[in-house]
Amino acid sequence: MKSRYQVTASSHNPGLGNHMADDGTEAFEQAKALALNEQRKRTLNEIERALARMDADTYGYCERCGEAIDFARLKALPYATLCIRCQTFVEH
Ligand SMILES: [Zn+2]
């Protein structure tokens, strides 16, 4: 992820802009687009994993403890891989 950003940053030539502010805005927009792209890729990856779990009949079960994931949680986050307890655990 870091190296990808470096490639983008080095391909950008700040000398071509007429104003410093334009360069700053453009760099910010680029960074924002990059972040959105990363988020989208991650979500897509999560969805593909969820579909694979459906094929394997393991969908809806926590990958960490094996317990069934709460239905309300799956409804809110269909590609959740962890039950709320394990999710809380790994986040802290
Ligand atoms: Zn769990």
pLDDT at 49: 93
pLDDT at 22: 76
Domains of the chain: 20-91 (1.20.120.910)
Radius of gyration of the chain (CA): 20
- Cα 34 to averaged position of ligand 1 atoms, centre (Å): 32
- Cα 85 to averaged position of ligand 1 atoms, centre (Å): 6
- How many whole angstroms separate alpha carbon 33 and alpha carbon 5? 11
Taking only the tens place, the pLDDT of each residue in 16-71 is 556 666 788 899 999 999 999 999 999 999 999 999 999 999 999 999 999 999 99
- Cα 83 to averaged position of ligand 1 atoms, centre (Å): 4
Q: Which residues of 7-19 are buried (b: 16+ CB within 10 A; e: fewer)?
A: eeeeeeeeeeeee
Examine the pLDDT at 2 and tell me if it is beyond 60: no
- Cα 38 to averaged position of ligand 1 atoms, centre (Å): 26
Q: Which residues surround ligand 1, an ion (CB under 5 A)?
A: 62, 64-65, 83, 86
